[in-house]
Structure 1
Amino acid sequence: MTPEDIKAIFGLEPEAAVEYLKQKGVAVSWDWQDMLDDAHATAFTVAKTAGMDVANDIYRAVVNAAETGQTLEQFQKTLTPVLQSKGWWGRTQATNPDTGEAQTVQLGSPHRLKTIYLTNMQSAYMAGRYAEMMDSVDTHPYWQYVAINDSRTRDSHRRMHGRVYAATDPVWNTMYPPLDFRCRCRVRPLSRAAGESRALPSPTLETQTVDISSNEYTGEARYAQRTGLRIDGKFVAPSAGFNANQGQTMLSRMASVAIQKAHAVHPDIARIALKIMMGNAKFKAALSAADLAWVQKVLKG
């Protein structure tokens, strides 16, 4: 799947997707379990990059791919020699920086670069898509989950296919794709006329804490939460590490930055700016409870 394919499927211009990638910081990790849920929306990370000078190279390559519309093949061709020159390639002995012990690990490979490319492009485009859909909630107040439904579609994603809920339903807090690595699902906005008769009641959400394996070197247990719903008695939820709506997290991060800037200016200037921003439903919905309380206090003078 190329950026052009994603754009065609999601009906989205690339600017919002690129902005999503650019607002991330870069974090290094040894195991994928070290970075879960909201962390993926605010930081770019690739497992087995801790202690190796490659995380920024991979991040820059992903952003460039989104900006220039690189295909997967172009992305791999550009990045592979860079990673090979730094020794981040193939199956080799590497030192775990957390323990100082050597272990055999799989570093870079064509398969791994494909996963990095597809997962980040999907996350970026879906986060941008979420921001656009929030702007049109007044005219399209219902959302429908859409899966690809072919031989590669996961059963849980297939069960969500076609389900319609109000755009403001809490179900989208976690059941907004991607729900797993290489997830190809999307969400389609529906007008009131198209969605009202098809909308399902708000489901009862259930949160399960799952064991995602202990750190084999430190023995520390690691857990992740999965929040989902029951469909025909089966628990359907994002996979571990994807239990957050990355579009929501992106908007919350951007709103938080705006609030921080408002804190730094004269109250009279902040009051004018905040009054304008609070007229945007997307901005208002993205505020944390603490930030909303502060804004309301400033606006009251």
Structure 2
Amino acid sequence: MGMPEVSDGLPFKEAIRFFESKTRLPTRAYTDIKGGAHARSFTMAGATRDALLSDMHRALIATFKSGHTKDDFLEDFDAIVAHHGWDFYGERRWRAALIYDTNLRMAHAAGRWEQIQAQADREAQAGRPLYLRYVALLDGHTRPEHAAWHGVTLPHDHPWWRAHYPPNGWNCRCDVQSLTERDLKRYGITPTPEDQVPPTELVPRQVRLADGSYETWETPRGIDPGFDYNVGQSWLEGAVPPPLSGPLPPPAAPLRPAPDLPPLPPPRPVPPEVTTPLADGLGDEAYIKAFLGVFGGDIGKPVPFRDAVGNLLAIGEELFIDRRATSAARKISPDAPPVWKVEKNGRHLILPLLAYALKDPDEIWLDWFEAKGGSVLRRRYLRRFEGLLLPPEAPMTAGAVAAFEWTHLGWTGTTIHPSARNQQTEGQRHGVLLWCKRIDGGR
């Protein structure tokens, strides 16, 4: 009797659940987010409007559930593109196939991982381990590194699978087989000795960002940038727990606190480099510079910053511009300088401290926000601080909230402010939870 077949075909219930749980995130490029964040987000490079993402997400779900083919999805793809006027990159059939194949393979891999975990639990109850065997299609079109990994057999919880669980790149067709100890004996398979496990050698890879600049990503050799994570593990455990809490409600849905939430993580000590409040009377620009300096930026020189989820943000003075007042001033004089809102609620004294709501948050949330002109997608960063000893003129704060809105430029900062009470920070926990810090401080 031959080896058991590697699973193929359309996603099953676990894969469907994985794909349905994704939250839509507009992006300008695949590199806008990194690694495990893709397991919790539905994105299409260059798709910057939620309505487009929503229609494409629904079309893929319907295609996967019905067992329809790539050609069926192409018809939906054409209709959605025509409806929204999406100016996508590449030829239509190639782009539709890339979207279909990538999402299908990722959903399949995530669903398989859930099944593997259930099987591993059953084996563990009997005191037996479960193994995974890497399987590549050796047909001449396989990457040399992937072909070399064919047959690697390791316990399912071996660290090697954190980066090498397939798919491991664009159009990667590799898979895994789960094998019990009985299977190993039956098929004459010997687990790979530890000294023969293929090394995880990190190599610098240049990736192109949406603005045309480049960023270096350290990626294991043989794995495409952005695929160096276990999609099933990131989904079930979360790159940082808990995983994404579900699809984002439509813009018209009322804002409600997310149900059944555990308390926010315990307050954490103030970073030692920002324990001393700034002096009063320094001037708006001096306070803004102090805030941006935490990220290595300056006024007129926004800096790119990867947040805890892997999303790319531009940190600049926009967080402190009074948009309405500035807009009104520039209607009178187009060259009018920005009107700042730096000293609102006394936050100017503790701006370097508030920067840590972005740099090292407790939680990140995503939701719609009603603004002048309609709904906008907003991302909120929450951080609580351990008891602060501040002078009377400084705001007594229990935490901080930073907010970014999605625009044609990407995620643009709109505000950052202190929360005087823990209840105020709790009140910002609505929409979809993208990320949180473990209670023990891990990630």
TM-score w.r.t. length of structure 2? 0.49
Cα contact 1:25–1:44 (8 A) shared by 2 = yes
Which ranges of structure 2 fall in alignment gaps of 5 or more residues?
Answer: 246-258, 264-435
**1:183 corresponds to:** 172
**1:252 corresponds to:** 237
Cα contact 1:48–1:107 (8 A) shared by 2 = no
Q: Which amino acid aligns with 2:66?
A: T
Separation (CA, whole Å) in 2 of partners of 1:64 and 1:56: 12
Cα contact 1:10–1:129 (8 A) shared by 2 = no
The 5 A counterparts of 1:186-265 are 186-195=175-184, 198-202=190-194, 203=197, 204-213=199-208, 216-217=211-212, 219=213, 221-227=214-220, 236-253=221-238, 256=242, 261=260, 263=262
Deviation of 1:251 (Å): 0.6
Matched, 1:290 2:438: yes
How many aligned positions are there? 238
**Partner secondary structure for residue 174 of structure 1:** helix
Matched, 1:129 2:128: no
**1:284 corresponds to:** none
Identical amino acids, percent of aligned pairs = 24
Q: 1:65–1:225: structure 2 CA closer, same or farther, 3 Å change rule?
A: farther
Which ranges of structure 1 fall in alignment gaps of 5 or more residues?
Answer: 1-6, 90-104, 228-235, 265-287, 295-301
Q: Which amino acid aligns with 2:111?
A: G
Q: 1:107–1:51: structure 2 CA closer, same or farther, 3 Å change rule?
A: farther
- Higher Rg of the two aligned structures: 2
Separation (CA, whole Å) in 1 of partners of 2:113 and 2:202: 23
Structure with the largest fraction of strand: 2
**1:232 corresponds to:** none
Q: 1:61–1:141: structure 2 CA closer, same or farther, 3 Å change rule?
A: same
Deviation of 1:237 (Å): 3.5
> Higher RCO, 1 or 2 (CA under 8 Å, sep at least 6)?
1
Q: Which amino acid aligns with 1:241?
A: G
Separation (CA, whole Å) in 2 of partners of 1:252 and 1:38: 11
Deviation of 1:85 (Å): 2.6
* 1:167 equivalent among 127, 134, 156: 156
Cα contact 1:140–1:189 (8 A) shared by 2 = no
Cα contact 2:10–2:67 (8 A) shared by 1 = no
Separation (CA, whole Å) in 2 of partners of 1:74 and 1:32: 25
**2:391 corresponds to:** none
Cα contact 1:142–1:189 (8 A) shared by 2 = yes
Q: Which amino acid aligns with 2:190?
A: R
**1:147 corresponds to:** 136
Deviation of 1:289 (Å): 9.0
Q: Which amino acid aligns with 2:117?
A: M
Cα contact 2:15–2:108 (8 A) shared by 1 = yes
Deviation of 1:34 (Å): 1.3
Deviation of 1:107 (Å): 5.7
Q: Which amino acid aligns with 2:132?
A: W
Q: 1:37–1:13: structure 2 CA closer, same or farther, 3 Å change rule?
A: closer
Matched, 1:120 2:103: yes
Q: Which amino acid aligns with 1:252?
A: E
Q: Which amino acid aligns with 1:208?
A: V
Structure with the largest fraction of helix: 1
**Partner secondary structure for residue 217 of structure 2:** strand
**1:278 corresponds to:** none
Deviation of 1:151 (Å): 2.8
Separation (CA, whole Å) in 1 of partners of 2:9 and 2:109: 11
The 5 A counterparts of 1:79-118 are 79-89=77-87, 106=89, 109-118=92-101
The ranges of structure 1 where at least 4 consecutive aligned residues each deviate by more than 6 angstroms after the TM superposition are: none
Deviation of 1:205 (Å): 3.0
Cα contact 2:32–2:209 (8 A) shared by 1 = no
**Partner secondary structure for residue 45 of structure 2:** coil
**2:145 corresponds to:** 156
Deviation of 1:193 (Å): 3.6
**1:100 corresponds to:** none
Cα contact 2:241–2:437 (8 A) shared by 1 = no
Q: 1:290–1:86: structure 2 CA closer, same or farther, 3 Å change rule?
A: closer
Alpha carbon RMSD of aligned pairs, Å? 3.0
Separation (CA, whole Å) in 1 of partners of 2:155 and 2:202: 21
